[in-house]
């Protein structure tokens, strides 16, 4: 009799287990916010009981980073740095100094393919304005003389920095969002969040996996499809996934398509046969800088650079609609192209 | 040894387990693609919520601001129909029909989102 009872109780316990385990998943519900900041949309998906408070703190932090580092609004530290170019050292906050130094490092790593002193050319092209234009060849050649990451002088002892030449402009547009993403993850960790995701205008950061323990599925935008369409998926936990592409901002003039990623060597939009690049790494500041870098470098050189860096993986999409991924990403990348226009090249 | 009655109880409990699994999965999937709520956000404020499956007559919603957007809602779908912003990304996004679908007009700080999760991906990098 006792045996029978124990079997029944065991079975009932199993039933309860099924019910309880399904409740546990709902115990801390998904909290999702959208906020317009840094010239884009910030989406946060957080599983935590204090998610609303945490999301607000993250948005405030991002707004602070934006006002320190933007050159699209007045005020802020980078504007001070640019205004004092060729004249004097200016005092900068810890965040700005860190990002500026990282930007300079990526200038070195990429041998100038990534260069935040591209500012004068960005301004001249007006890619981020309502009225973009193609500057004259002579204007571009003149402005190229101002583009050189080596002219960023940083004095860590006094927390100051200076640009060597008058007229030089630092534009952190290719790296500041990456930094802001890492700052957001720090805040999540401070509150003990175990499962969260943030998108800063398509720069994705994941903390942990989903509440059920499975990885997050991050779609990789189809460069020729509509917003939200994708050509494949990477399954990740605790990773940053950042993309660059010629589809983000562009304009057409006399039948030619001009996009927003300028090659610091030529002063014209990078034209290396790529239409989209995606970097997967631990920190989004690296992923952000590198996605732009490899877009400018092209498939061969970009692949070489990524393979030389520890813990960094990449997806490359070429203009003839072929997709290449680094070896370390072959297991986490799933080719899924609803448009049926792309080809996944597994072996090069 | 198990008697006939024991087998009966045993079978009953197994059915119970199966039913509870089935019930839970049914419950979890119940909200999958029904009750689609579209939310319109302007300048970080939610300005309208629409249950798009319950819309029988097409309707237009005007959004004014730095630019002007016209949002069109039909049964089960919603989109930016017109916009006088320079890039027209929002209009080119087309119809939103599934949970998790989203269209954004950055210049006008306006977005439409259908609440809920897409079943295929959690987010898209761009």
Query: The domain spanning residue B77 has which CATH number?
Result: 2.60.320.10
* Spatial CA neighbour of A149 closest among A113, A121, A117: A117
Q: Does A302 touch chain B (CB under 8 A)?
A: no
Q: What's residue B33's pLDDT? A: 52
What is the DSSP secondary structure assignment for residue B58, as one 8-state letter? -
Cβ distance B123 to A11 less than 8 Å, yes or no, reads no
A284-297 vs A94-109: helix crossing angle, rounded to 10: 30
pLDDT at B66 over 50: yes
Task: Measure B55 CA to nearest chain A CA, in Å.
Answer: 24
Shortest distance between the Cα of B58 and any Cα of chain A, in A, equals 23
Has residue B45 been placed in a domain? Answer: yes
Question: What integer pLDDT is reported at residue B5 of this predicted model?
Answer: 79
Q: With a threshold of 0.90, tell me whether the complex ipTM lies above it.
A: no
**DSSP 3-state of B72:** strand
- Is B43 inside any structural domain? yes
pLDDT score of B48 = 94
Residue B41 and residue B102 share a domain: yes
Answer yes or no: do B73 and B22 share one domain: no
Number of H helices, E strands in chain B: 2, 8
- pLDDT for residue B68 is more than 90: yes
At residue B81, the pLDDT reads 96
8 A C-beta contact, residue A305 and residue A293: yes
A227 touches B at CB < 8 Å: yes
Does pLDDT of A25 surpass 50? no
Q: Which of B20, B109, B122 sits opposite A19 (nearest CB)?
A: B20
3 state SS for chain A: CHHHHHHHHHHHHHHHHHHHHHHHHHHCCEEEEEEEECCEEEEEEEECCCHHHHHHHHHHHHHHHHHHHCCCCCCCHHHHHHHCCCCCCEECCHHHHHHHHHHHHHHHHCCCCCCHHHHHHHHHHCCCCCCCCCCCHHHHHHHHCCCCHHHEEEECCCCEEEECCCCCCCCHHHCHHHHHHHHHHHHHHHCCCCEEEEEECCEEEEECCCCCCCCEEEEEECCCCCCCCEEEEEEECCCEEEEEECCCCEEEECCEEEECCECCCCCCECCCCEEEEEEEECCHHHHHHHHHHHHHHCHHHHHHHHHHCCCCEEEEEECCCEEEECHHHCCCEEECCCCCCCEECCCC
- Distance from A166 to chain B by nearest Cα, in Å? 32
Does residue B110 contact residue B90 with C-beta atoms inside 8 Å?
Answer: yes
B116 compared with A3, residue with greater pLDDT: B116
Chain B CB contacts of A226 below 8 Å:
92-94
Contacts of A115 (CB under 8 A, 6+ apart): A107, A147, A148, A149, A264
B51 and B99 in a common domain:
yes
- Residues on chain B bordering chain A, Cβ-to-Cβ distance under 8 angstroms: 6, 9-10, 13-14, 16-17, 20-21, 24, 27-28, 41, 43-44, 86-87, 89, 92-94, 101-104, 106-107, 109, 111, 113, 117, 120-126
Give the sheet arrangement for strand A216-221, strand by strand. Answer: A333-335, A230-236, A216-221, B123-125
Asked if A8 has any chain B CB less than 8 Å from its own CB, the reply is yes
Q: Do A43 and B123 touch (CB under 8 A)?
A: yes
Say if strands B77-83 and B123-125 run parallel, antiparallel, or are unpaired: unpaired
pLDDT digits (tens, 9 = 90+) for A235-269: 999 999 999 999 988 888 888 889 999 999 999 99
Condensed to tens digits (0 to 9), the pLDDT of residues A289-316 reads 999 999 999 999 999 999 999 999 999 9
Enumerate the residues of chain A whose CB falls inside 8 A of the CB of residue B94.
226
Same domain, B79 and B64: yes
Q: Which among A37, A201, A227 is the top mutation candidate for probing chain B, defined by the most B β-carbons within 10 Å of its own β-carbon?
A: A227
Q: Which domains does chain A have, with CATH numbers?
A: 30-64+175-344 (3.10.520.10), 72-170 (1.10.3980.10)
Tell whether B126 is covered by a domain.
no
* Same domain, yes or no: B53 and B109: yes
All residues of chain A having their beta carbon less than 8 Å from the beta carbon of residue B43 are 36
How far apart (Å, rounded) are the C-alpha atoms in residues A346 and A198? 30
User: Does a structural domain hold residue B73?
Assistant: yes
Chain B residue with minimal CA distance to A35? B44
Reported confidence tier of residue A54, pLDDT bands at 50, 70, 90: very high
Q: What is the pLDDT of residues A320-344, one digit of tens each?
A: 999 999 999 999 999 999 999 999 9
Binary contact (B86, A245; C-beta < 8 A): no
The answer to whether residues B73 and B41 belong to one domain is: yes
Average pLDDT over residues A11-30: 60
Q: What is the pLDDT of residues A31-43, one digit of tens each?
A: 999 999 999 999 9
Instruction: Assess whether B6 and B68 both reside in one domain.
Output: no
A283 touches chain B (CB under 8 A): no
Taking residue A39's Cβ as centre, other Cβ atoms within 10 Å add up to 15
Decide: A62 and A39 in contact? Cβ < 8 Å.
Answer: no
Please report the pLDDT score of residue A227 as a whole number: 84
- In a domain, residue B102? The reply is yes
pLDDT band at A5; cut points 50, 70, 90: low
CA nearest neighbour of A246 among A236, A237, A256, A232: A256
Rg of chain A on CA atoms, in Å = 23
How many folded domains does chain B comprise? 2
Categorize the per-residue pLDDT at A8 as very low, low, confident or very high, splitting at 50, 70 and 90. Answer: low
What pLDDT, on a 0 to 100 scale, did the predictor assign at position B87?
81
* Nearest Cα residue in chain B from A33: B44
pTM exceeding the 0.90 threshold for the entire prediction: no
Is A202–B20 a contact, with Cβ atoms under 8 angstroms apart? no
Tell me if chain B has a CB within 8 Å of the CB of A220.
yes
Nearest in space to A57 (alpha carbons), one of A237, A211, A239, A196: A196
Tell me: pLDDT of B23 over 60. yes
Residues B62 and B94 in one domain: yes
Q: How far is residue A119's CA from residue A147's CA, in Å, rounded to a whole number?
A: 8
Same domain (yes/no): B26, B41: no
Examine the domain organization and report whether B42 and B84 are in the same domain.
Answer: yes
Does B122 reside within a domain?
no
Q: Which residue has the tokens 């580092």?
A: A69
Is the pLDDT at A26 greater than 50? The verdict is: no
Assess whether B57 and B25 both reside in one domain: no
Judge whether B86 lies within some domain: yes
pLDDT exceeds cutoff 50 at A222 = yes
| Residue A19 touches chain B, beta carbons under 8 Å | yes
Alpha-carbon gap, residue A70 to A91, rounded angstroms? 16
pLDDT at residue A88 in the model: 98
Tens-place pLDDT, residues A55-106: 999 999 999 999 999 999 999 999 999 999 999 999 999 999 999 999 999 9
The answer to whether residue B96 sits within a structural domain is yes
Instruction: For chain B, say whether A198 makes contact (Cβ under 8 Å).
Output: no
Q: What is the C-alpha to C-alpha distance for residues A178 and A40, in angstroms, rounded to an integer?
A: 13
For a pLDDT cut of 90, what percent of chain A falls above it? 85
Domain boundaries, position B21 = 1-30
CA distance A103 to A89: 18
Residue B76 has pLDDT above 70, yes or no: yes
Q: Are residues B11 and B61 in the same domain?
A: no
Q: How far apart are CA A246 and CA A274, in angstroms?
A: 8
Residue B27 has a pLDDT of 62
Rounded to the nearest angstrom, the gap between the alpha carbon of residue A66 and the centroid of all alpha carbons in its chain is 15
CA distance A225 to A232: 13
The pLDDT of residue A11: 58
Mean pLDDT for A110-131 is 93
Q: Identify which of A36, A247, A278 has the shortest CB distance to residue B125.
A: A278
Q: Average model confidence (pLDDT) for chain B?
A: 86
Alpha-carbon span A173 to A182, nearest angstrom? 15
Backbone angles phi, psi at B68, to 5 degrees: -120, 135
Of A24 and A233, which is predicted with more confidence?
A233
- Cα–Cα distance measured from residue A298 to residue A278, given in angstroms and rounded to the nearest whole number: 12
What pLDDT sits at residue A24?
Answer: 47
What residues of B are in contact with residue A260 (Cβ under 8 Å)? Answer: none
Q: What is the mean pLDDT of chain A?
A: 93
């Amino acid at each position: 009799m006792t045996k029978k009872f124990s079997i029944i109780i065991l079975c009932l316990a199993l039933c309860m287990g099924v019910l309880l385990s399904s409740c546990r998943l709902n115990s801390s519900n998904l909290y999702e916010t959208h906020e317009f900041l840094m010239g884009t949309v910030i989406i946060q998906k957080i599983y935590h009981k204090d998610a609303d408070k945490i999301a607000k703190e993250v948005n405030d932090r991002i707004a602070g980073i934006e006002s320190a580092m933007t050159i699209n609004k007045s005020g802020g530290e980078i504007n001070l740095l640019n205004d004092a170019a060729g004249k004097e050292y200016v005092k900068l906050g810890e965040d700005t100094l860190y990002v500026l130094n990282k930007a300079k490092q990526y200038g070195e790593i990429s041998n100038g393919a990534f260069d935040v002193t591209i500012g004068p050319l960005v301004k001249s092209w007006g890619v981020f304005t309502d009225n973009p234009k193609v500057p004259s060849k002579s204007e571009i050649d003149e402005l190229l003389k101002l583009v050189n990451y080596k002219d960023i002088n940083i004095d860590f002892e006094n927390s100051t920095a200076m640009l060597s030449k008058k007229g030089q402009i630092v534009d952190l547009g290719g790296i500041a969002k990456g930094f802001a993403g890492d700052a957001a993850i720090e805040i999540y960790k401070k509150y003990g969040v175990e499962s969260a995701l943030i998108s800063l205008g398509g720069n994705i950061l994941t903390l942990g996996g989903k509440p059920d323990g499975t990885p997050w599925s991050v779609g990789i935008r189809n460069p020729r499809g509509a917003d939200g369409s994708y050509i494949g998926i990477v399954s990740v936990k605790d990773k940053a996934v950042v993309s660059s592409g010629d589809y983000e901002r562009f304009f057409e003039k006399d039948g030619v398509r001009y996009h927003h990623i300028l090659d610091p060597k030529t002063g014209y939009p990078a034209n290396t046969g790529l239409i989209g690049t995606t970097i997967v790494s631990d920190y989004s500041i690296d992923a952000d800088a590198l996605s732009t870098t490899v877009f400018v470098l092209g498939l061969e050189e970009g692949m070489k650079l990524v393979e030389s860096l520890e813990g960094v993986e990449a997806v490359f999409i070429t203009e003839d609609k072929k997709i290449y991924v680094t070896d370390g990403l072959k297991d986490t990348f799933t080719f899924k192209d609803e448009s049926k226009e792309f080809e996944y090249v597994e072996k090069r | 040894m198990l008697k006939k009655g024991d087998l009966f109880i045993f079978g009953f409990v197994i059915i119970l387990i199966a039913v509870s699994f089935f019930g839970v999965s049914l419950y979890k999937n119940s909200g999958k693609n029904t009750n689609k709520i579209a939310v319109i956000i302007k300048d970080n404020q939610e300005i309208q919520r629409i249950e798009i499956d319950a819309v029988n007559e097409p309707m237009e919603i005007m959004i004014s601001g730095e630019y002007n957007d016209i949002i069109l809602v039909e049964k089960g779908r919603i989109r930016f129909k017109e916009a006088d912003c320079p890039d027209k990304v929002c209009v080119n996004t087309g119809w939103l029909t599934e949970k998790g679908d989203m269209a954004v007009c950055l210049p006008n700080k306006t977005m439409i989102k259908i609440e809920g999760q897409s079943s295929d991906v959690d987010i898209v990098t761009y």
